[in-house]
Amino acid sequence: MSMIIKKEWAMPSKNTFSIKPIRDFIKWQIAMMGDERIVVDPFANINEIATVTNDIDPSCNTDYNMDALEFLRIFEDNEVDILLFDPPYSPRQVSECYKKVGKTVNTQTTQASFWSNLKVEISRIVKPSGKVICCSWNSGGIGKKYGFEMSEILLVAHGGWHNDTIVTVEYKI
């Protein structure tokens, strides 16, 4: 499979999906999957692109207000067509999210195993040929270890000393 890499420029925002090239890219990826699809976002915040949304913060207008791992566990095996994965990008951001809602921050929520546990659930619930669209400061995505193959990368440069946002698209193989 060939890889498509695209680079865009945009101002940064803590609400990743409000950044125009990212929002447009995600909407295009979803549209390519057809009309009848389940699109899940475990870290939705204010974003309403997905058909099923979650955010740990109860002030967010989402379908669920659960910890992301517990939210992913409500889905059946191979049920989800597209998963939008835009978690906090660093342990500091995870800590800020948990503290904002009065939850305890501990090693379980800030270590690499936290992300691995999410990836296990994502692999379980995404259908074969389904896709994960991942936003981060790196291009790691979900990965081959969990049954995914990278097909596209969108690099959004924010200029100056701002970290780029890297959006990867992976298909479950």
Between the alpha carbon of residue 156 and those of residues 74, 92, 114, 143, 149, the distances in Å are 32, 22, 26, 21, 21
Residue 22 has pLDDT above 90, yes or no: yes
Instruction: Please list the helix, strand and coil fractions of the chain in percent, rounded to the nearest 5, in that order.
Output: 30, 30, 45
Residue 43 has pLDDT above 70, yes or no: yes
Other Cβ atoms closer than 10 A to 141: 22
- Tens digits of per-residue pLDDT, 111-149? 667 778 999 999 999 999 999 999 998 899 999 999 999
| Confidence band, pLDDT 50/70/90 cuts, at residue 98 | low
| Confidence band, pLDDT 50/70/90 cuts, at residue 64 | very high
Beta carbons of 55 and 63 less than 8 angstroms apart: no
Q: Give the whole-number percent of the chain exceeding pLDDT 70.
A: 84
pTM here? 0.88
The DSSP-derived string for 15-29 is SGGGSHHHHHHHHHH
Q: Provide the pLDDT for residue 107.
A: 64
Other Cβ atoms closer than 10 A to 152: 18
- Give the chain's domains with CATH numbers: 4-172 (3.40.50.150)
The DSSP-derived string for 48-90 is --SSEEB-S-TTS--SB-S-HHHHHTTSPTT-EEEEEE---SS
Quote the CA–CA distance of 144 and 162 in Å, as a whole number: 29
Q: Provide the pLDDT for residue 12.
A: 78
| Confidence band, pLDDT 50/70/90 cuts, at residue 99 | low
Quote the CA–CA distance of 7 and 93 in Å, as a whole number: 25
Q: Provide the pLDDT for residue 110.
A: 56
- The mean pLDDT value for 58-75 works out to 94
